[in-house]
Structure formats: C-alpha cells, structure tokens
Amino acid sequence: MARVGIVTGGTRGIGEAISLALKEAGVTVAATYAGNDERAREFTERTGIAAYKWDVADHEACLAGCAKVAEDLGPVDILVNNAGITRDGTILKMTYEMWKEVMDTNLGGCFNMAKAVFAGMRDRKWGRIVNIGSINGQAGQYGQVNYAAAKSGIHGFTKALSQEGARAGVTVNAIAPGYIDTDMVAAVPADVLEKIVAKIPVGRLGQAHEIARGVAFLCSEDGGFVTGSTLSINGGQHMY
C-alpha cells in the first residue's frame, strides 16, 4: 500500500516540487495551502494531487486537517513542513505582529503538524518528517531576525524530535535550502539578487526540484539511517 504524505505549503514553489517528487516516488500526497484557492485548484487539476486548506499557525486546524487527510487517504506516514512566510524588516522597523506571524507559521507550524501525526507514526513504527529550514537560519540575514530565528529554531526542533522518534523507526531531518529560483526570491530587487548570486560558488540560483530530490531521499526507505541531520543544499554559499 502506498505511503501517505502531507506537504505543507505544497501547491507552489519548493512545496509544489516536493509534492511532485513524492508522488513520483509512489507516495499518496496531500498538499496544504493557506490562501490562494484558485492556485490550489489549478495545481490539483494539473497534478492530480489533492489540496487541503488550513493555516499551519492554527493548532486546532492542523489537528483537524491531518485527521481529515487520514480519513480520506489513510494514516499519515510522511510529513514535510515546508510552509513559510516572510515579514522582512530591520528590528527598528519590525512590529511585534511581524515577529509573531513568522514565528507562529514557520516554527509553530512545525510543532502543530508534528503534534498531529507523530503519535501515529510512532505507533506504526515507521515515519518520516522533513522540516524545511534555510541558509538564513544557519548564517543569519540582515533584516530577517524573525525569519532567521524561526528557521534556526527548526534546526534545533529537528535534532530534539529525532531523538524521540529514532527507536520507533521515525526519522526527523531538515533541509536548509540556499537561494532558490521561486516567487519568494523573485520578489527580491534585481540589484540585490545579483549580489546574492555573486556569492554563490556554483554561480546560479538553485532549482526547486533540487530541493525536492533531497526531500524524496530522506522520505524513502533508503533514508532510514539518516536522522537528526540537516542537509544544506545551497550551491556552496554557506559551509560549516
């Protein structure tokens, strides 16, 4: 029987590439989204992947949403916490709301979703959780104290939760993408983007499918001995 997987923020950008890669690997995928109904409908029509709408920052919505996916598709074996937002600004200009929204979605969403599926994975003695961090959570970034803190928190969350799942066959890993050619990066001013690309040793932005391949491996049977790790896919931009 096919494994069932949830990809949060799974209808566009990196999330869409992950949804497609998992489907290609034989996983029955449910992609979540927060707002754009038209985009989600188009995604489902084009890919055949079911889309479910809820806000990962809403704890109760995550519990209810995951229960609905399990009811529709079967017990959830794979979770990819990809949903993320930015509310950039220096701390002098950053409001508390800008801080809280990013923390609640990017980091809180990982807790909310893991809380909904972890017990079932442990009971069934098999599970894969992959959390999408960021190069900016590893190295920091000017004007992103909220985003960098949330993404850095994901790396700590991953290491701690991996220890709770290891003996039960539940692996928990993270991927830290560098700058990937998505809508989020396209919103960066051209002159700023040029400077960013100049600092990437391979000399280009990454592609969403390059992140998705890493996720697909970590979610596979072959990924069973990898847990608590962060895979950096960033073209050599940040090494440590």
CATH 3.40.50.720 assigned to domain 4-233? The reply is yes
pLDDT in tens, 124-148: 999 999 999 999 999 999 999 999 9
Q: With contact defined as beta carbons under 8 Å apart, do 40 and 12 qualify?
A: no
For residue 98, give the 3-state DSSP assignment: helix
What value does the mean pLDDT take over residues 26-50? Answer: 97
Give the count of beta carbons closer than 10 Å to the beta carbon of residue 128. 28
Please report which confidence band the pLDDT of residue 192 belongs to, taking 50, 70 and 90 as the band edges.
Answer: confident
End-to-end CA distance of the chain: 40
Residues annotated as catalytic are 147
- Side-chain-side CA neighbours of 136 within 13 Å: the count stands at 18
Sign of the CA dihedral with 161 first, then 155, 93, and 234 last: negative
Percent of the chain clearing pLDDT 70 (strictly above):
100
Q: Which whole-number Å values give the CA distances from 162 to 148, 157, 197, in the listed order?
A: 21, 8, 33
